[in-house]
Amino acid sequence: MARLENKVAVVTGSGAGMGEGMARLFASEGARVVVSDRDEAAAQSVAASIVADGGEAIAVRADVGVEEECRALIDRAVEHYGRIDILVNNVGLSRRGTIETTSVDDWELVFRVNVRSAFLCMQQAVKYMKEQGGGSIVNIGSVNAYIGEPKLMAYSASKGAMQTLSRNTASYLNRYRIRVNQLNVGWTLTPNEHRVKVEEEGKGENWLDEAVRTRPWGRLLLPRDIAYAALYLASDESECITGSVLDLEQHPIGAPPNW
């Protein structure tokens, strides 16, 4: 039996990258997947590809930093599939800046996307999960919550806030058999990550060589690594786990304290 047989999963930010990887894996394991993204065309493309591969999926365009759009996303999932068993809060972004150079606008944008969206989506999903007797929520965080990289001040702070939000919510929702866990990831090799490193951070096309040198397994994380970890936390295999934080990457070997 597939690991997510007959379960309904909503994955935010699943039009590309890590979210797409999770949506595809969940579908291959029997889940009916709601592919959600601000980019409607990207969401439609992923959902159509899942269906073409024999899975079941629909696409819903949503800006999950907006309360009404979060409500519409979760309502649509339940209207179409009758329930929601899994919510993955994957949406996230970063803005470079220290405590001195980060603008108020960048601070508020990062918290809106990284923290507010998770809060809003959980708030909407919990209503249905309580009625059906349980569910699993997986929040995608970052090891930057611990490291506090100086030039990613707002991002690091937002992921620390998300981690506290996950644990606090888990302690409350436990009584309803709704599990909340956080998956903290490090550098993950996606097209967008490469673009950011080259275009925004000016690291050059060879940035990956140095990054790989510091990893004990000889490569960066890939979307499939995040997808399989999320699959475990979403599935009934982890039914006794809640309020936990699973780190997929520790401090790189030989890296400076604030890598």
Closest CA to 154 of 197, 92, 204, 199: 92
Q: How far apart are CA 124 and CA 177, in angstroms?
A: 16
Per the structure block, which two tokens stand in for 17? 């990258």
Written as one letter, the residue type at 101 is T
Q: Decide if 176 is catalytic.
A: no
The residue annotated as part of the active site, out of 146, 155, 176, 228, is: 155
Other beta carbons within 10 angstroms of residue 256's beta carbon come to 8
Give the DSSP per-residue string, 113-169.
IIIIHHHHHHHHHHHHHHHHT-EEEEEEEETHHHH--TTBHHHHHHHHHHHHHHHHH
The catalytic residues are: 155
